[in-house]
Structure 1
Amino acid sequence: MGTVTIGVSIAVPEPHGSRLQQLRAGFGDAAAHGIPTHVTLLPPTEADSAVLPAVEAHLAKVAAAGRPFPMRLAGTGTFRPLSPVVFLRVVEGGTACNWLQERVRDTSGPIRRELQFPYHPHVTVAHGIEEAAMDRAFAELADYEAQWPCTGFALYEQGADGVWRKLREFPFGGAVVPPQADRLDRGSLPIR
């Protein structure tokens, strides 16, 4: 059957997603138009295409156990000098993202993956570009803010052309962001 490159992420919704993608391209990041704006739950991972049905079944179970939670981005951060990345910080929703990524990669499931770096939820706005452009991205987006109710995540596949395409969405088991959702990141987990 062959090998595919997959990833799992939370999409940054419109109008924020397109706007951030345009800004990323404007900073000189050539990969910007092939990567939908997102918060990663599973980084690019090679898998046998025959395993995709099991992956989808596993992700459906993970999503069914979750419930909507608030996501908020505010300000910039960087992984430099360790990694040439400037990102928007996830200031609300990070605990829920961590909970999700642990379950996506759970050793009992079909996506067993060790991470190169400790998990840190973020939205990349510049990657692998000139230092001056990285500095510009960091400064220009320092006051950027966006928020939305996160209601699920999606499985993506990277095509031979380098473009990431959504294969399937996985909505959470609960359909409504609960009134207490603003407290989720202050100690409780997004599970029923």
Structure 2
Amino acid sequence: MGTERYEHGTHEESARTLATSTQLSTGQMAGAIGEGRSFLGIVIPVEGEYARKVSATRAATGDPYAYIPPHITLMSGVPLPDPAEAIAHIRNVVSAFSPFPLRFAGTDTFYPVSPVTYLRVAEGERELTELHERLHSGPLDAKPAYPFVPHLTLAQEVAPERLAQVRREWEDVSFNMSAHSVTVHVGDGAGSWTQIEELAFSG
């Protein structure tokens, strides 16, 4: 979730409490969602040694969102119509997928459209795109404002020279991980996000 203005985009810009969000029980979801307008964010967490390195790199550049755990965004800021229907839809989509491998290799940037440098997804893009498309269907059939570009943010909202420096530093880095779950977050549109569920790929 980032300010990149791609589908990874606006969720990170507003997710100022995401780093400390917690998973809620089913009975607590209604309270988290509340009565006002709510929005959904769905991500695949990135964990392990390289996740720590990504976080360190973001912090070193002065990235204002460095505190947000590394992740790949699948859905960002989609209005939440009927909470029960939406959550059932997400569970149904996620349960049809099995864990799948991801490989990150090479860097790219959204600059000058948006000040973001990122690691490219070299393996797993097909599964990520299919997940993205299936999630954006049914009760969550909202057309994203920008193309879906699966990626792992390395730096954002920093000076162009810092973006270029990070891109050079990470250009030859590659690593693998297994995507085994998604986390679902609800936002209030004012910058507060709460994780309401973690769903495992169980297909």
Q: TM-score range by the shorter chain?
A: 0.7 to 0.9
Residue 139 of structure 1 corresponds to 168
Residue 58 of structure 1 corresponds to 89
Q: Distance in 1 between matches of 2:194 and 2:52?
A: 15
Question: Per-residue deviation at 1:17?
Answer: 2.3
Q: Distance in 2 between matches of 1:64 and 1:54?
A: 15
Q: What is the SS of the residue equivalent to 2:76?
A: strand
TM-score (norm 1): 0.79
TM-score (norm 2): 0.75
1:47 is aligned, of 59, 73, 80, to 80
Mapping for residues 20-35 of structure 1, pairs under 5 Å: 20-33=54-67, 35=68
Q: Is 1:69 the counterpart of 2:100 in the alignment?
A: yes
Percentage identity across paired residues of the two chains: 31
Q: Is 1:10 the counterpart of 2:44 in the alignment?
A: yes
Contact 2:80 2:86 in 1 (8 A): no
CA gap 1:165/1:14 in 2 versus in 1, 3 angstroms: farther
AA of the residue aligned to 1:60: R
AA of the residue aligned to 1:43: S
How many pairs are equivalent?
Answer: 169
Q: Please identify, of 87-96 and 139-148, the stretch whose mean Cα deviation from structure 2 is larger.
A: 139-148
2:117 is aligned, of 69, 81, 86, to 86
List runs of 5+ in structure 2 lacking aligned partners: 1-34
CA gap 1:126/1:159 in 2 versus in 1, 3 angstroms: farther
List runs of 5+ in structure 1 lacking aligned partners: 175-192
Contact 2:37 2:189 in 1 (8 A): no
Q: Distance in 2 between matches of 1:141 and 1:162?
A: 30
Contact 2:38 2:187 in 1 (8 A): yes
AA of the residue aligned to 1:22: A
Q: What is the SS of the residue equivalent to 2:98?
A: coil
